[in-house]
Amino acid sequence: MPAKRTRLDRFISARLIINRRNIKAMLAQGRVFVNGELANDVQMLVDEFSNVVVDGKALSNQTPTYIMLHKPIGVVSATQDTKHKTVIDLLDRADKRDFHIVGRLDLNTSGLVLLTNDGLWSRQLTSPQSDVEKRYHVTLKNPLTNEYAPAFAEGMYFAFENITTRPAKIEILSEFEAEVILVEGKYHQIKRMFGRFQNQVVKLHRHSIGEIQLDPNLQPGESRELTQAEVQSTLKKRGLNQIANKT
């Protein structure tokens, strides 16, 4: 996955094919700058998006990119697939193979999918400790009752994986429609939770991840880059200033 962090001396050594022992002297001579600042510590952490300059030459020139996509039903959340079109196939850009998916949706679920070339951002966004809320609009086959809310809030035990889901929220919108809020994403979790009530999910659509809302102007299959405000909305809660400064 992109954006793995590494020590400055290892980064320079790999790109200039020089011995790491020589790099400390280069820093002492004032020949190395990182993100516009004179570097003085070979152990400082950098990644492929860091602006590392040695003797006036930039060693990296990549820009972190963040994309929202309106995934249609019938498209898989994968980088490649032999049977179905993938979300990567839907991107109309030359560098689309550089991107990976941040939170997948199954074949028959539509809605918001995020993609990026920034592994640090995606790891933070999907970490179990991040508590990022994902909101789904659910259409059911059978009528909803007030029994659902306490069961979702308590969490449900799935014997196959020997896990108990984290508390989830459900708001009944109409007799057959509800909004479900999760902070995790177990395998077919929403469908299996409603399955406890023998109620089939007819339609499932994710419309937000954290504060990022699916752009209503995006038709199924369309995508656009996130705005700076949208990217930063995912960072403030977790204090990831090192990413925010790159956008």
pLDDT band for 238, please (50, 70, 90 cuts).
very low
| Residue 240 belongs to a domain | no
User: Do 118 and 91 lie in a common domain?
Assistant: yes
Q: How many domains does the chain have?
A: 2
The verdict on whether 106 is a catalytic residue reads: yes
Give tens-digit pLDDT for 70-113: 999 999 999 888 899 999 999 999 989 889 999 899 999 999 99
* Range of the structural domain that residue 160 is part of: 66-233
3-state SS of the chain?
CCCCCEEHHHHHHHHHCCCHHHHHHHHHCCCEEECCEECCCCCCEECCCCCEEECCEECCCCCCCEEEEEECCCCECCCCCCCCCECCCCCCCCCHHHCEEECCCCCCCEEEEEEECCHHHHHHHHCHHHCCCEEEEEEECCCCCCCHHHHHHHCCEECCCCEECCCCEEEEEECCEEEEEECCCCCCHHHHHHHCCCCCEEEEEEEEECCEECCCCCCCCCEEECCHHHHHHCCHHHCCHHHHCCC
Domain boundary among 35, 58, 81: 58
User: Do 98 and 191 lie in a common domain?
Assistant: yes
User: Do 13 and 38 lie in a common domain?
Assistant: yes
Q: What would the mean pLDDT of 32-37 be, rounded to a whole number? A: 92
Catalytic residue among 47, 106, 131, 215: 106
pLDDT for residue 26: 95
pLDDT(247) > 50: no
Higher pLDDT, 128 or 220: 220
Give tens-digit pLDDT for 107-158: 999 999 999 998 888 888 888 788 899 999 999 999 999 999 999 999 999 9
Domain boundary among 58, 74, 89: 58
User: Do 30 and 141 lie in a common domain?
Assistant: no
pLDDT band for 61, please (50, 70, 90 cuts).
low
| Residue 136 belongs to a domain | yes
| Residue 239 belongs to a domain | no
User: Do 119 and 227 lie in a common domain?
Assistant: yes
CATH number, domain of 32, equals: 3.10.290.10
Give tens-digit pLDDT for 181-190: 999 988 899 9
The string over 141-152, giving b where at least 16 C-beta atoms fall within 10 Å of a residue's C-beta and e elsewhere, is eeebeeebbeeb
User: Do 180 and 97 lie in a common domain?
Assistant: yes
| Residue 149 belongs to a domain | yes
Q: Record the pTM.
A: 0.79
pLDDT for residue 239: 43
- Of 12-21, 35-44, 58-67, the least confident: 58-67
| Residue 243 belongs to a domain | no
pLDDT(60) > 90: no
- 50 sits in the region (left: phi over 0; alpha: psi -120 to 50; else beta) called beta
User: Do 102 and 199 lie in a common domain?
Assistant: yes
User: Do 83 and 54 lie in a common domain?
Assistant: no
| Residue 242 belongs to a domain | no
| Residue 220 belongs to a domain | yes
User: Do 119 and 73 lie in a common domain?
Assistant: yes
